[in-house]
């Protein structure tokens, strides 16, 4: 039986994204009518992670313009993407949550498809995939793809899931599952940690093809090979701490 949800919270962690943050907000709010047709209200929670550009000023200006659907928070010091996601989770009040990066590498037009398995009552979480069909994909770095495949394989070995794109930043959850998730990683290690927790809590996980408009480093891409190496540690660490993650109640399994 399809689940009943009333509000979608879109969580946007931000760091030095003055060039794209307003376009990201425009693209997100452009989905409002599509979400209303699905019976969902829209809430946007943007967390600035101590940017040293005008990102926060632009967020604050939008919030001051009076749209009550936009909630803005700011870290006094840089703590990383994972910490920004946790801060956004604390402030979100929706029935479903989705993480939307502020750089528009992921297209907000994919949001309805991402949340559909949860609206249909089939999933507790949905993970996007850049490597299994979907929309347009910008062609970029070969070794990034190889590294991603290796990390996804290692993560799948520990979690016994068969994901094709563990490191993707587009992930959505029922708020019940999201709030139960034990998240401790402050930076990009949040991606393998989320996947590990979903497996440990017995969540029903679906994968949905998405479009991908990747950036070059000159255009502001932040993740590097060092984050890939660190992911090996994060995958292992999340696996070893499995006892700390509570299971979802039986009806979800």
Distance CA 169, CA 155 (A): 15
At residue 188, the pLDDT reads: 74
Contacts of 10 (CB under 8 A, 6+ apart): 28, 42, 43, 44, 45, 97, 98, 100, 108, 111
Q: Give the chain's domains with CATH numbers.
A: 7-245 (3.90.550.10)
Whether 89 contacts 11, CB under 8 Å:
yes
Mean pLDDT by 10 residues, the chain (253 residues): 85 96 97 96 98 97 91 97 97 98 93 97 95 62 71 91 91 97 86 95 96 61 60 80 87 52
At residue 140, the pLDDT reads: 52
At residue 218, the pLDDT reads: 53
Tokens of 11: 């969580």
At residue 219, the pLDDT reads: 47
Give the CA count within 13 Å in the CB-facing half-sphere of 11. Answer: 28
Whether 76 contacts 44, CB under 8 Å:
no
Distance CA 20, CA 251 (A): 41
Burial 205-236 (b: 16+ CB within 10 A, else e): bbbbbbbbebeeeeeeeebeeebbebbeebbe
At residue 236, the pLDDT reads: 85
pTM over 0.85: yes
Distance CA 122, CA 120 (A): 6
């Amino acid at each position: 039986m399809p689940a009943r949800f009333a509000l979608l919270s879109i969580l946007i962690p931000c760091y030095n994204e003055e060039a794209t943050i307003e376009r990201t907000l425009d693209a997100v709010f452009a989905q409002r009518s599509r979400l209303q047709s699905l019976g969902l209200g829209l809430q946007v929670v943007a967390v600035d992670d101590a940017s040293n550009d005008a990102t926060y000023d632009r967020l604050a200006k939008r919030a001051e313009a009076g749209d009550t659907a936009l909630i803005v928070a700011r870290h006094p010091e840089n703590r990383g993407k994972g910490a920004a996601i946790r801060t956004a989770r604390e402030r979100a009040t929706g029935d479903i949550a989705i993480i939307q990066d502020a750089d528009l590498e992921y297209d907000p037009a994919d949001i309805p498809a991402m949340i559909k398995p949860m609206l249909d009552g089939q999933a507790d979480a949905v993970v996007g995939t850049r490597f299994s069909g979907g929309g347009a994909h910008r062609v970029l770095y070969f070794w990034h793809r190889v590294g991603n495949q290796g990390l996804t394989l290692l993560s799948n070995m520990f979690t016994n899931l068969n994901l094709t794109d563990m490191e993707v930043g587009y992930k959505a959850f029922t708020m019940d599952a999201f709030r139960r998730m034990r998240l401790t990683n402050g930076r990009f290690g949040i991606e393998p940690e989320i996947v590990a927790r979903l497996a440990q809590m017995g969540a029903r996980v679906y994968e949905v093809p998405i479009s991908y408009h990747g950036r070059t480093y000159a255009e502001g891409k932040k993740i590097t090979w060092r984050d890939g190496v660190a992911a090996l540690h994060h995958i292992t660490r999340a696996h070893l701490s499995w006892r700390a993650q509570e299971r979802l109640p039986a009806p979800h399994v």
